[in-house]
Amino acid sequence: MVAGLGEFTLRTGDGFGKPVLDESNGEELMHVQPSVAVVLGNRPVESPGTLYITSRKLIWLSDVDMAKGYAVDFLSISLHAVSRDPEAYSSPCIYTQIEVVEDEDDESDTESTEVLDLSKIREMRLVPSDSSQLDTLFDVFCEGAELNPEPVEEEEGESGHNWVFNADQMDVIGGVEEDAEWSISQSPTSVIGHSNGDEGLAQPMLELQINDQRFEDAEEMVHDSETKNH
Amino acid sequence: MLFFSYFKDLVGQEVTVELKNDLAIRGTLHSVDQYLNIKLENTRVVDQDKYPHMLSVRNCFIRGSVVRYVQLPPDGVDVDLLHDAARREARGG
């Protein structure tokens, strides 16, 4: 796994020149978009090419230069957006920002056209010749990003990905506890001493509240004195 | 999962997301997921001189792991509620 943008030259030898994926590790091809130009940073646009979106990364392969290709892991893509503003770029495109590992010794111009260090590229635009495909591409990018969260030790909610579009949507895995907590917090004005059903904890905590004001947050003391009279 | 729940309630409000690379983006919170990936609509860059390339994009997806801050509307935050909920979560309750 490469951090940031890198070269990608592994193509299948069957003449079609598709990218070789890491299928043994579950990498799958999600979408192919032909006729896409790529713009790395401030460099001149490169085309024609084909964009391959896999479950792990973005791959752009030149249609004319079989040795030219770029790839970036979704893990390194900080944000992506549909850019239709002609002031930002002449053609509608997908704008992406790539997370770059800062090198303390690096003083050179990161956008220099002399020596191309792909790992220092921070912005990449993908310009499909068919701009009606932009929204589809944006959605596939979202899917790819969602499939690649930061690797964590343990995850609570594994069963599917749940986007919430409005506050009414509360049917999320792992969200059940959260709902209960929000509704509880509406009633008691001071939550210190109130535990979620573990009565064994309640008594000693209540005593703490009454007898040990030094355990309160400084600002809480003001609020508590106001709300205790409720 | 506390802040996932919290951001759910903020959907539809104007927020400013500041990334770890110092870029600040303002927009309407469209949706948020369990990894705190954020989708914003009607976005514009806060400091346009510094980041001219982005300007205004209609919608953008921000990876949760690159967010440094999410700046909230002052009346969109009940600080006491958040305090209490965070304290409970820290206790594992």
Give the model confidence (pLDDT) of B20-67 as tens digits.
Answer: 988 899 999 999 999 999 999 998 888 767 666 666 778 899 999 999
| Whole-model pTM over 0.90 | no
CATH code of the domain in which B80 resides: 2.30.30.100
> Looking at residue A210, what is its pLDDT?
52
Report the residue from A82, A89, A163 with minimal CB separation from B59.
A82
- Region A114-119: mean pLDDT is 79
Is B8 within 8 Å of A89 when comparing Cβ atoms? Answer: no
How does DSSP assign A101-160, residue by residue? ---TT--S-TT-SSS--GGG--EEEEEESSGGGHHHHHHHHHHHHHT-PPP-S--S--S-
Pick the residue with more confidence: A168 or A135?
Answer: A135
Q: Look at B4 and A40; give whichever has higher pLDDT.
A: A40
Does the pLDDT value for residue A99 go beyond 90? Answer: yes
Question: Would you say B40 and B56 are in contact if contact means Cβ atoms under 8 Å apart?
Answer: no
Exposure string for A17-55, b = 16+ CB within 10 A, e = fewer? ebbebeeeeeeeeebebeebbbbbbeeeebbebbbbbbb
Among B34, B32, B57, B40, residue whose Cα is nearest residue A123: B57
The interface predicted TM-score (ipTM) is 0.87
Q: Which amino acid, one-letter code, is at B66?
A: V
Domain count along chain B? 1
Binding-face residues of B in 19-78 toward A, CB within 8 A: 19, 21, 23, 25, 30-35, 37, 39, 43, 52-66
pLDDT tens track for A42-73: 899 999 999 999 999 999 999 999 999 999 99
| Nearest-angstrom CA–CA distance, B20 and B22 | 5
pLDDT digits (tens, 9 = 90+) for A178-213: 444 343 444 445 555 555 554 454 444 444 445 566
The amino acid present at B45, given as its one-letter code, is V
Cβ within 8 Å, pair A99-B66: yes
Q: Using a pLDDT cut of 90, give the percent of chain A over it.
A: 47
Task: Tell me the residue range of the domain where B14 lies.
Answer: 2-91
pLDDT at residue B1 above 50? Answer: yes
The DSSP bridge partners found for residue A126 are A38, A94
